[in-house]
Amino acid sequence: MVSPLISLMKDQVDALAGCGVPAACLNSSLSPAERRQAVQRIREGAVKLLYVAPERLVTRPFLDFLREVRLAYIAIDEAHCISAWGHDFRPEYRLLSRLREEFPSLGLAGFTATATPPVQRDIIEQLRLRDPAVLVGSFDRPNLFYRAEHRHDGFSQVREVLDRHKGESGIVYCIRRKDVDNLCQKLLDAGYQAAPYHAGLSDWDRKRAQEDFSRERVGVIVATVAFGMGIDKSNVRFVVHAGMPKSLEHYQQESGRAGRDGLPAECVLLYATADVMLWKRMLSQLPEEAQPGAVSALHALERFTTDARCRRAALLSYFGQKPAAEECTNCDVCVGERAPVAEPTVLGQKILSCVARVQERFGADHVAGVLSGSEEERIRQYGHDKLSTYGLLRDFSRPTVKGWIEQLCAQGFLAREGAFEVVKITEEGRKLLRGEATPRLLSPPPPRRVRRERAAAEGDDPLFAALRDLRRFIADERHVPAFMILSDAVLWEMVRRRPRSLPDMLAISGIGEKKCREFGARFLAAIAQFESAGPEPPPAPQRFDSAREEAFSMFRAGASLQDVVRRTKRRLPRILRFLEDYIRLHNVKDPTPWVDPTTHAQIREVARQVGCSRIATIAYRLDNRVTEETVRISVACLRNE
């Protein structure tokens, strides 16, 4: 299996191992001993599925090695990376075309979740597939509710979504690393459980954030697109794009990380002109062959955000599929949140008239200020408060008017030019002024919305909460993400069916013999105890592996990290993880004897300034006088405060 990300390989190998499938990966994250062990298992035929990166696969030594082990089949994941018309073109994927030469009789397949018809054709051509079977599943995700909103107060709009999903897991995507850091810190300051994730953080910080999210210690991840491909958490209840993605392929992929358990989930896309201009500058740095496809994809996304058409129908049409109906009951347009305005032609003419009267020399925000009757000094300074179009749309807010200007830009009636994004009237816009064209303008969303239309009371079910707590505890025991134990959908099925025996458990979809044997009795006991004791969640049984139990015992006695390493003969990173678990589970607030009080006080002060999640930053602020391990111990205690 060819896979582009190391984190993706590890996650899938771990998941396969949990299901009893012998799998392995070969990549740079392995130690020499681990690599030798994996190679030996492959030679012995003990591995049924091997994950490698494309760069490794096409090297001569590795190709020769594969011939020795009698390779049966090659599957290429994220196959859209092969195509220059794909949303994530990677030149190294082009090298995979030589696989047909190296293994002419071997089965070869490409898999991707997001490929338009032109990309599908390019994949076939690049891989030199001969009369291939092309299987395309539905791109529709009927359990996802889609919203697209003009971004006018991003932080408040993000908080609005989080407040609709209290106690649930979600992802907030930003374009740049600094946007991630700023938004995450503001959420932390406002009392939300959040962690940042981007390529500028240390490996440990990224790993810890992903682990905390997977194990439900943190409810919200604020991330760049670097986050997501290495995780398959099934119970993500919302995905917010605080910044626009660069294509509908990216949007389909990133929003599709919500609701993988089939339960209702919400996807909110906040769009703004500034994001479009930012992406255009970034796309100009791509290889020349990739730029036309990337710019075309960006324009398609821009049209999607401002279109009055059903979101689901627009997505399906983009990927070459016909929607079952032109309207659904699960997007902002179809439920009436974003209804078309009553007289779009008249409204569009008013806006374009104002652009003409400011002599096409100002940006969208200034034009919106004139139309909404703003009294700011800059408008009076230019005499624009004396124009006939001044206050023409004073019944609407400035952000609403600016949103309509952006919709006109996306539909080609206006164009943004230059570094200051000055709006100018296009030839299509002049047709609109003459009444020869009609735009599609959406009304603003209502200021407040009720909580999710479906499953609104699910999160309040006490038995579900008890089963979720038990699942989290079992996951911590095994050092795996919670979703690898059982999905939310399985837990809800337990709540509905109330199984009384192991055969009852086996009748629940998602519980096979292995999971029933390992976890069934514990969940049956939790359900029985809940029903006999009432709605109080049953206490999770305390059971640890021997090394962890011994480490916990030594921590209680005040042993240092080094003492525990010597006694248990385990590596320091693992013992440090045990200590963090011990601190969290036992609500330890004083890090003595692992950190001296003076150092802890210094770490506390810096953590107050930058947040507890930024371990490397805290160490850097202290001039690296303390190690990241020491910071981690202190921060674990600070979190309990």
3-class SS letters over 498-529? CCCCHHHHHCCCCCCHHHHHHHHHHHHHHHHH
* Torsion sign (Cα): 324, 325, 326, 332: negative
| Residue 24 backbone dihedrals phi, psi, to 5 degrees | -155, 165
H helices within 307-453, ranges in order? 311-318, 344-357, 364-371, 377-381, 398-410, 427-433
Please give the average per-residue pLDDT across 121-136, as a whole number: 88
Q: What is the largest distance, in Å, between two alpha-carbon atoms of the chain?
A: 85
Asked if 427 and 489 sit in the same domain, the reply is: no
Please give the average per-residue pLDDT across 268-276, as a whole number: 89
Asked if 382 and 348 sit in the same domain, the reply is: yes
What would the two tokens of residue 126 be? Answer: 């690049």
Please give the average per-residue pLDDT across 553-580, as a whole number: 83
DSSP state letter for 387: S
Asked if 371 and 397 sit in the same domain, the reply is: yes
Amino acid identity for residue 546 in this structure: S
Asked if 156 and 104 sit in the same domain, the reply is: no
Phi-psi region of 323 (alpha: psi -120 to 50; beta: other; left: phi over 0): beta
Asked if 261 and 289 sit in the same domain, the reply is: yes
Could you give the percent of the chain with pLDDT greater than 70? 92
pLDDT value, residue 357: 95
pLDDT value, residue 450: 38
Could you give the percent of the chain with pLDDT greater than 90? 23
Mean pLDDT value across the chain: 84
pLDDT value, residue 425: 95
pLDDT value, residue 213: 87
Please give the Cα distance from 521 to 527 (Å, whole number): 10
Asked if 550 and 529 sit in the same domain, the reply is: no
DSSP letter string, 126-193: HHT-SS----------TTEEEEEEE-SSHHHHHHHHHHHTTT-EEEEE-SSHHHHHHHHHHHHHTT--
Please give the Cα distance from 545 to 535 (Å, whole number): 30
Does residue 137 lie in a domain region? no
What would the two tokens of residue 270 be? Answer: 């906040």
Please give the average per-residue pLDDT across 482-500, as a whole number: 85
- Better-predicted residue by pLDDT, 615 or 196: 196
pLDDT value, residue 448: 43
Does residue 634 lie in a domain region? yes
pLDDT value, residue 454: 37
Looking at 498, 533, 568, which one is the last position of a domain?
533
Asked if 189 and 121 sit in the same domain, the reply is: no
Between 311-318 and 248-255, two packed helices, what is the crossing angle to 10 degrees? Answer: 120
Please give the average per-residue pLDDT across 157-172, as a whole number: 91
pLDDT value, residue 584: 81
Element (H, E) at 267: strand 265-271
What would the two tokens of residue 449 be? Answer: 């919305």
**Does the pLDDT value for residue 525 go beyond 50?**
yes
Please give the Cα distance from 589 to 274 (Å, whole number): 44
Please give the Cα distance from 469 to 162 (Å, whole number): 21
| Beta strands 265-271 and 236-241, pairing class | parallel
Does residue 339 lie in a domain region? no
Asked if 184 and 307 sit in the same domain, the reply is: yes
pLDDT value, residue 453: 38
Distances (CA, A) of 199 to 177, 181, 206, 247: 8, 12, 8, 20
pLDDT digits (tens, 9 = 90+) for 36-88: 898 999 988 889 999 998 888 888 888 889 888 888 889 998 888 887 666 67
**Does the pLDDT value for residue 458 go beyond 60?**
no
Please give the average per-residue pLDDT across 87-109, as a whole number: 82
DSSP state letter for 392: T
**Does the pLDDT value for residue 352 go beyond 90?**
yes
What would the two tokens of residue 38 be? Answer: 């994996």
CATH number for the domain including 494?
1.10.150.80
pLDDT value, residue 624: 65
Q: Distance from CA of residue 206 to its chain's centroid?
A: 14
- Better-predicted residue by pLDDT, 87 or 31: 31
Asked if 32 and 116 sit in the same domain, the reply is: yes
Does residue 540 lie in a domain region? no
Asked if 523 and 562 sit in the same domain, the reply is: no
pLDDT value, residue 529: 82
Contact 54, 96 (CB under 8 A): yes
Does residue 251 lie in a domain region? yes
pLDDT digits (tens, 9 = 90+) for 281-315: 888 887 777 788 788 888 889 888 877 778 998 89
pLDDT value, residue 449: 43
Asked if 313 and 199 sit in the same domain, the reply is: yes
Looking at 127, 154, 174, which one is the last position of a domain?
127
Range of the domain at 20: 6-127
Q: Among 306, 514, 563, which residue's Cα sits nearest to residue 410?
A: 306
pLDDT value, residue 614: 67
pLDDT-based confidence at residue 452 (cuts at 50, 70, 90) = very low
pTM for the complete prediction? 0.62
DSSP state letter for 459: G
pLDDT value, residue 456: 36
What would the two tokens of residue 554 be? Answer: 């030594």
pLDDT value, residue 510: 81
Does residue 439 lie in a domain region? no
Long-range contacts for 461-464 (Cβ within 8 Å, ≥24 apart)?
A: 461/495, 462/530, 462/535, 462/536, 462/537, 463/494, 463/495, 463/527, 463/530, 463/535, 464/491, 464/492, 464/495
Q: How many domains does the chain have?
A: 5
Looking at 318, 335, 352, which one is the last position of a domain?
318
Does residue 467 lie in a domain region? yes
Please give the average per-residue pLDDT across 201-225, as a whole number: 84
Q: Among 21, 17, 76, 32, which residue's Cα sits nearest to residue 52?
A: 76
Please give the Cα distance from 182 to 616 (Å, whole number): 16
Q: Distance from CA of residue 52 to its chain's centroid?
A: 23
pLDDT value, residue 354: 97
pLDDT-based confidence at residue 427 (cuts at 50, 70, 90) = very high
Asked if 25 and 107 sit in the same domain, the reply is: yes
Please give the average per-residue pLDDT across 509-530, as a whole number: 87
pLDDT digits (tens, 9 = 90+) for 144-161: 999 998 888 899 999 999
DSSP state letter for 335: T
pLDDT-based confidence at residue 226 (cuts at 50, 70, 90) = low
Q: Among 465, 527, 450, 491, which residue's Cα sits nearest to residue 167?
A: 465
Does residue 80 lie in a domain region? yes
- The lowest-confidence range among 83-87, 264-268, 442-446, 452-456 is 452-456
Please give the Cα distance from 53 to 496 (Å, whole number): 43
CATH number for the domain including 285?
3.40.50.300
pLDDT digits (tens, 9 = 90+) for 387-417: 999 999 998 989 889 889 988 987 889 988 8
Q: Hunting for tokens 């910071």 — which residue is that?
A: 631
pLDDT-based confidence at residue 228 (cuts at 50, 70, 90) = low
